[in-house]
Amino acid sequence: MAHIVITSGPTREYLDPVRYLTNASSGRMGTSLAQAALDLGHQVTVVSGPVSVEYPAKAKVVWVTTTQEMLDEARMAFSNADGLIGAAAPCDYMPEHVETSKLQKTGNDLMLHLKETPDIVATLAAKKLSKQWVVAFALETQDVRFRAIVKLSRKACDMIVSNSAQAMNSLDNSVEVILRGGTVLDQFYGPKPLVATGILRLIDKHLIVPTANS
Ligand code: C5P
């Protein structure tokens, strides 16, 4: 039995108290991965941005809003976990300044200065212990396999799940799972729970080292 941390859903970066940047991530892949991991007997902590999907009752869920909060909570959970699956779609940019009161319309264009948010999987993979593992997702529209392998290596992850852009906010997914070193392990297509089961089986086989008491 392993303790697996799953980041899930989008994050939000506020411009002012009522407006924010975000994306269409639904958290469906995260909830399917959580269920698949529980079904294989693992302990699961989900660190989730705001979503309306329900996570399995047996998973511990930590709710966050911003990418920095997701990093802080994922780091805390990962410190006593075996592995991390980065299934979230965190906002990659945040406003340089967050206004404390609602921005008023002036009749002129509004210029936003955005800075990059931290990369959660890359940050945690860079500091992981040798017995810990990190799985990332990659969503690309062209040169899909090549870019996924580049990402796997740049983020120093152990496995990457390359999926299509149609996966976002959809019930189905089509993925290719690639192991560190660039070995393509398998491809799965269909409803997200089915795809998640395939991914978790590969994680079990290639990343989770059996221990004497598991
Ligand atoms: O670089 P890109 O966003 O395409 O990488 C996707 C992978 O990185 C996913 O596993 C996603 O959860 C993770 N990610 C992250 N922190 C970010 C951006 C992406 O953990 N700020």
86 lines ligand 1 (CB under 6 A): yes
> What strands lie across the sheet with 159-163, from one edge to the other?
60-63, 43-48, 3-8, 83-86, 133-139, 159-163, 172-179, 183-191
CB 66 less than 6 A from any atom of ligand 1: no
pLDDT at 155: 96
Over residues 135-142, mean pLDDT: 92
Note the pLDDT of residue 176. Answer: 96
Cβ of 8 below 6 Å from ligand 1: no
pLDDT band at 210 (very low <50, low <70, confident <90, very high): low
Instruction: State which fold the 3-95+114-206 domain adopts.
Output: Rossmann fold (3.40.50)
Question: Cα(104) to centroid of ligand 1, in Å?
Answer: 33
Q: Domain locations in the chain?
A: 3-95+114-206
Least confident of 40-44, 61-65, 205-209: 205-209
Query: Residue 141: which pLDDT band, with cuts at 50, 70 and 90?
Result: confident
> Which residue's structure tokens are 């469906």?
28
Cα angle for residues 95, 100, 104 (degrees, 5° grid):
85
Residues 6+ apart with CB under 8 A from 203: 4, 83, 85, 133, 135, 159
The pLDDT tens digits of the residues spanning 165-182 come to 777 777 888 999 999 999
Ligand 1 atom 5: residue of nearest CA: 138
**Whether the predicted pLDDT of 100 surpasses 70:** yes
Find out whether 115 and 93 touch, Cβ atoms under 8 Å. Answer: yes
To test ligand 1's pocket by mutation, which of 71, 92, 121, 161 has the most ligand atoms within 8 angstroms of CB? 121
Does 94 score more than 60 pLDDT? yes
Q: Can you give the pLDDT at residue 52? A: 96
pLDDT attached to residue 172: 85
Which residues, listed in sequence order, are joined to residue 49 by a DSSP beta bridge? Answer: none
Distance CA 189, CA 173 (A): 6
Beta strands in the chain (DSSP E): 3-8, 13-14, 20-21, 43-48, 60-63, 83-86, 93-95, 114-116, 133-139, 159-163, 172-179, 183-191
Name the closest-CA residue to atom 2, ligand 1. 138
Residue 166, pLDDT score = 73
Query: Ligand 1 in contact with 140 (CB < 6 A)?
Result: no
Residues with a catalytic annotation lie at: 23
Percent residues over pLDDT 70 in the chain:
98
